[in-house]
Copies of this chain bind each other. A is one copy, B any other.
Amino acid sequence: MRRADSAALLTASAARRGGALPPQGFQAWWEGRNRANDVEVVPIPFKEMEHWRFEEPSGNLVHDSGRFFSIEGLRVERGGGAATAHPIINQAEIGILGILVKEFDGVLHCLMQAKFEPGNVNLRQLSPTVQATWSNYTRVHGGGNTPYVEYFRQAGRDRILVDVLQSEQGGWFWRKRNRNMVVLVTEDIPVYEDYCWLTLGQVMDLMHVENLVNMDTRTIMACMPVDHPGDPDDAALARSYASGADEHGAALHPLGEIVSWFTDAKTRCDWKPRLVPLNGVEGWSRTGDEIADDGRRDFRIIAVRVGAATREVATWTQPLLATREIGQSAFLARPIGGVLHFLVQARPEPGLLDVLEIAPTVQLPPTTGALLASAGMPYVEQALGDRGGRVRFDAVLSEEGGRFHHAQTRYRIVEVGEEFPVRVPEDYCWMTAGQLMELLRHGHYLNIEARSLVTCIHSMR
């Protein structure tokens, strides 16, 4: 059903927005790519993994090359002596997430990829032109080249529209960042069979299709300096986009105040995270098939065998971080003085480089009982409940399928009315779309969930 949905959407979008479809038609291309699924992903016991082993005495799960990533332990000490610990993915390399863009008949198109990842619920998702770890594109694993990566590595500076380091899930990754890039090409470039030119409008329309636009596409799209692609009939939204870096604009808080609010939250945060041996993580144990918490509520580390003809290496085994539930990330939106504002939260996550980043109004992890445990947390009812306000965006989308197994998040944007209090607790702040985009020119402000939601704002209707 999902594939049919997306194809219908695209056709409608192309007709409405005048995006030039590729000669063979997107629908045929996408269905063709999915018919060709000569791929299978099978859970295996850890002992059947090739080139991966548990290193002693740490118990860390590592690759023989010393590259790619490892599963280690993380311990967080907080003020007052409280401490928590859990496994974490340590992937120190900076990868490239890149989209090539080109104008056709005056309309900007993005070169998108129907990319398979082993952890995807549906095998293929709409992905950036390039999605490559340093190990990938420098060919540590002896596989094929990463197509198009040379356009990003050798781009002239005036062709680079976006190039900024952004974080990924701070609960699951230790200080992982990727280079989010958009590069403009003017020359003819070959289009391989897993790739397709789509307009920005088409990609935005596809954002509403369940598990189609992947996480890496979403974070790059969030960083793009787009000019109000949201609902064209919404004046409060248009003004929200227009209110950015200007210190004396229509926003509730000038940008300097927002930076000050964020600085203050960082000063108050007393989390002290550090890597520890995986063997030393209390409350978690390893069986032959998984590493899991004793309460069986949090994520698990599993191993899979992947057979695929379309990736850099034809067949391989690897660990994945598997979730038990669907996570929740939501923005509350409210017009303030005729300008739509979004409510953000300064939220600590132990794996983030500076611990604190700007997060959605409500962000619940995909753990068993998270919703129940959130009772009393600010804004949960309004953001996730049925009677909170006007739902401007609501779709279940996937997180990174290269490291996570079936990790999904429900993204929602709920607009509340002027009766909703403007005054918020000290960890929260109202920002305009333009201000969110202004901060996205720099790294380490918005976390990955907030960046996904910025792309949801772009696609609101």
| Residues of chain A having any CB pair with chain B under 8 Å | 92, 94, 157-158, 160-165, 179, 225, 245, 253, 255-257, 259-261, 263-264, 266-267, 272, 353-354, 441-444
Pair A259/B157 contact, Cβ less than 8 Å:
no
B261 to A157, Cβ gap below 8 A?
yes
Q: Is the interface of A mostly helix, strand, loop or mixed?
A: mixed
Copies in the complex: 2
- State how many angstroms separate the Cβ of A267 from the closest Cβ of chain B: 5
- Nearest-neighbor residue (CB-CB) of A254 within chain B: B158
- Pick the contact of A442 from B158, B257, B259, B264 — CB < 8 Å? B259
The answer to whether A257 and B354 have CB atoms under 8 Å apart is no
Contact of A165 among B94, B162, B257, B263 (CB under 8 A): B263
A225 / chain B contacts, CB cutoff of 8 Å: 256
With contacts A266-B165, A353-B353 known, is A160 near B94, CB below 8 A?
no
B residues less than 8 Å from A261 (CB atoms) = 157
Sampled A-B contacts (12; CB under 8 Å): A157-B257, A157-B260, A162-B256, A164-B259, A164-B260, A165-B266, A179-B263, A179-B267, A225-B256, A245-B245, A259-B441, A353-B354
The residue in chain B whose Cβ has the minimal distance to the Cβ of A274 is: B275
Once the chains are docked, how many angstroms separate the CA of A442 from the CA of B442? 9
Quick one: closest B residue to A92, CB to CB? B272
Q: Is the CB of B160 within 8 A of A260?
A: yes
The answer to whether B267 and A94 touch across the interface, beta carbons within 8 angstroms, is: yes
Q: Are B267 and A158 in contact (CB under 8 A)?
A: no
Q: Check A163 against B259 for contact (C-beta < 8 Å).
A: yes
Q: How far is the CB of A130 from chain B (nearest CB, A)?
A: 14
The 3 closest A-B pairs by CB, nearest first: A163-B260, A94-B267, A160-B260
The answer to whether B163 touches A263 (Cβ under 8 A) is yes
Q: Which residues of B lie under 8 Å from residue A179 when comparing CB positions?
A: 263, 267
| Extra contacts besides A165-B263, A165-B266 (14): CB < 8 Å | A94-B266, A94-B267, A157-B260, A158-B257, A160-B256, A163-B259, A164-B260, A164-B263, A179-B263, A179-B267, A245-B245, A259-B442, A353-B354, A444-B444
